[in-house]
Amino acid sequence: MGREGISHEYQDIRSEAACGEQLPSIEVTGQVMARVRGLERVQNRGTVRFGNKTAATLGMLILLLMITVTAYAASEYIQIRNKAGAVKVQHFAPDLKPKGVAAYYEYEWKLMDFAKPGEQIAFYFRGEPIPEGGSPLQFAYKEQRITEYSAFLEQMNRKNSPVILPKTAGGYAFKYGTMHPRYPTKSERDSSPFYRQILSELINEAKQDQKRNLFMKVVPWTEAGGVQAKYTRQGAFIDLSATLLHGGDVQVYQEPGNKPEKLKVEGRDIVYNYVDRPDVKPGFSYHYLTWYNEVQDAYYMLTTYGDRILTKEQLLKLAGELMKGGL
């Protein structure tokens, strides 16, 4: 199940749903691990790839796994809390990571072929098991890369993003930006006449066509679920993303080889992650930063790769500059 975007005219439904529904956690390991595998390919091909998929699916991967908050003993793992003391970011053991998203990748290419860049797709897959708390109506998004910063800025404002990523980052120039929708919660899908009508149309289409199992429709979106920008300088790259939590929280499954360190930058908690991955290539490692912005209710990730990478000290300095700028 994904957490996907909802049209502006249904804001009242979203508000009502939030009151009666426990907002799910956002599992970001897919995003983190995707960049892990991508770094090796960036050095050789100049494009970030996630497994066998391009960065075009990043927005969807960020919010692809949505699970209910469960009780776990993870006191030895890193936590970031808000001022009220609520846990907003939780690191814990990889063996607690939920399973069950492999089937999606078997037909993802059909969804991407169906949509144009920047479009959100509502879809119904006949026969696919519905996880507990899930919905038969699912959502996906085809990434649109915006190469002009002025157009990216306009899009961030038009899609009601509380996060405005900067034009430059540490002397690195803007290369392109992307966004992805906030997918509707289960309550919104169940209560909204709009979403119920879409599901009904897709199921009726499935009843009339027994030769295929995937049925889809492009639907509008006006609210951002996350933003991302890539910056470049002489063959080096910085990648900056923000996932908008909308009252939810983040679960980070601490994969083997990851050595996270909780630090302070500009008086705020930040997690420095150093990951050793000899399974990718002997001696291969990388590092990145993550932090939480309470005012924006956003979870940030900052990575460095390419011909040259920033040192730990440079990465932390850049994060401090970005925080001073409002991130």
Residue 96: per-residue pLDDT: 65
Name which of 16, 11, 50 is nearest 33 in CA terms: 50
Q: What is the pLDDT of residues 223-256, one digit of tens each?
A: 999 999 999 999 999 999 999 999 988 888 877 7
Q: What is the mean pLDDT of residues 269-290?
A: 90
Residue 62: per-residue pLDDT: 34
SS3 211: coil
Residue 20: per-residue pLDDT: 33
Please, which pLDDT band fits residue 19 given cuts at 50, 70 and 90?
very low
How far, in Å, CA of 228 to CA of 177, rounded?
Answer: 6
Name which of 299, 241, 326, 295 is nearest 80 in CA terms: 299
Please, which pLDDT band fits residue 76 given cuts at 50, 70 and 90?
low
Chain-centre distance for alpha carbon 206: 30
Residue ranges per structural domain of the chain: 8-324
Please, which pLDDT band fits residue 2 given cuts at 50, 70 and 90?
very low
Residue recorded with tokens 């607690």: 96
The string of DSSP letters for 56-96 reads: GGHHHHHTT-EE-------TTS-EEE-TTS-EEEEEE-GGG
How far, in Å, CA of 250 to CA of 239, rounded?
Answer: 19
Average pLDDT over all residues of the chain? 78
Q: What is the pLDDT of residues 35-65, one digit of tens each?
A: 433 333 333 322 222 223 333 333 333 332 2
Looking only at the bridges linking them, the beta strands covering 120-125 and 214-219 are: antiparallel
What is the C-alpha end-to-end distance of the chain, expressed in Å?
29
Helices marked H in the chain: 11-20, 29-45, 58-62, 102-114, 149-158, 186-191, 193-208, 312-324
Residue 16: per-residue pLDDT: 29
CA distances from 233 to 174, 293, 305 (A): 9, 27, 11
Q: Which range is least confidently modeled, 54-63, 76-85, 204-213?
A: 54-63
Please, which pLDDT band fits residue 128 given cuts at 50, 70 and 90?
confident
pLDDT for 313 beyond 50: yes
∠ CA 254-274-51, nearest 5°, is 65
Q: What is the pLDDT of residues 81-105, one digit of tens each?
A: 999 999 999 988 777 666 655 567 7
Token representation of residue 46: 């100049």
Q: What is the mean pLDDT of residues 257-275?
A: 92
Q: What is the mean pLDDT of residues 124-137?
A: 86
Instruction: Give percent helix, percent strand, percent coil of the chain, each to the nearest 5.
Output: 30, 35, 35
Residue 94: per-residue pLDDT: 73
Residue 271: per-residue pLDDT: 95
Residue 34: per-residue pLDDT: 42
How far, in Å, CA of 105 to CA of 113, rounded?
Answer: 13
pLDDT for 3 beyond 50: no
SS3 49: strand
Please, which pLDDT band fits residue 205 given cuts at 50, 70 and 90?
very high
Q: What is the mean pLDDT of residues 135-151?
A: 96
CA distances from 298 to 104, 111, 241, 307 (A): 26, 28, 10, 30
Q: Is 234 left (phi over 0), alpha (psi -120 to 50) or beta?
A: left
Q: Is 77 left (phi over 0), alpha (psi -120 to 50) or beta?
A: beta
Q: What is the mean pLDDT of residues 153-182?
A: 96
pLDDT for 110 beyond 70: yes
pLDDT for 279 beyond 60: yes
Residue with the bigger pLDDT between 118 and 98: it is 118
SS3 310: coil
